[in-house]
Structure 1
């Protein structure tokens, strides 16, 4: 019970950060697609939460953001962004927490899986809903090229935070045992 409460509260914190951070970046002249601010808290949630909670953060964050701020637009952006973020959260959690892979492998693995999943969703939207989107390969290429600054931020910032929190937590645990 105690762990599930902690996971739920931590999930709420990551969702809140996922709502606030994009508003800050979009307030700087629409920098969201370049700096990918909603990705950061969702991916970080995967490092600190079990897979179901990380998945929940990846689903709830873009939905709440779309409802409360209009970002991302409900259609066609929300469906592929929701899939991408959900995959980021769950894959990060599985790779880092279940399979105990290092932070960089977990991060890059999640980033690749999330982009592939969003490309698949773009294909579904274009094929079955006749949405005028580029092919999945062009979409992924465009998202990666446009998001290079955000990807670089993720590759530097997220590992620093995760390793710093893990180091602090380990030291705190040692202090309790002494």
Structure 2
């Protein structure tokens, strides 16, 4: 019971962070698309609270932010981001939980496949949603949106998330340990 309450509280914190952190970009969509600030709390939630909690936070954050602040636009952006972030939180959390040893290497081992899976899901959902509206997502558009334009955000994630996890470990909030 205590563990679920702690995970629920932390997940609510990560959800709030996901709503507020994009405001750092000053509501400038171009900068937000480069730095991907909404992704950071979802990855951290998956790593700290576990895959199901990360998935829930990832699923809700873009939709709630769209309804509350109008950004990102609900269709197709927030809907496809919601699926993408849900996959990030789930995959990252599940892989990290199954790691034989916890530490920076395990964080990277969880982040990289989660990033690839989430971007693949984003591309599939985006293609379906755009197809329903009479548009198309070309392979060139997918590569540009999912990878090339996102390079600054990907680098930020690969630097900041392991650093935050290491700092939380030093503070005793999370423990790097062998899996039981």
2-side partners of 1:64 and 1:29: how far apart? 17
Correspondences of 1:159-178 after superposition (within 5 Å): 159-169=162-172
- Cα distance, 1:59 vs structure 2: 0.9
Q: What is the aligned counterpart of 1:141 among 123, 140, 143?
A: 143
Change (3 A) 1:13 1:171: closer
Give, in angstroms, the shift of residue 79 of structure 1. Answer: 1.5
Distance in 1, Cα, partners of 2:173 & 2:3: 18
- Structure-2 residue corresponding to 1:57: 57
Structure 1, unmatched stretches of 5+, are 174-178
TM-score under structure 1 length normalisation: 0.88
Aligned length: 171
Partner of 1:156: 159
Q: Which deviates the most, 137-146 or 73-82? A: 137-146
Gaps of 5+ in 2: none
Give the C-alpha shift of residue 166 in structure 1: 2.2
Alignment of 1:15-54 (within 5 A): 15-27=15-27, 30-54=30-54
> 1:81-101 CA distances to partner (integer Å, 9 max, x unpaired)?
111000000001011113447
Runs of 4+ in 1 over 3 A off after TM superposition: 26-30, 170-173
Partner of 2:116: 112
Cα separation, 2, equivalents of 1:86 and 1:171: 22
C-alpha root-mean-square deviation of aligned residues, in Å? Answer: 2.1
Q: What's the secondary structure of 1:169's corresponding residue?
A: coil
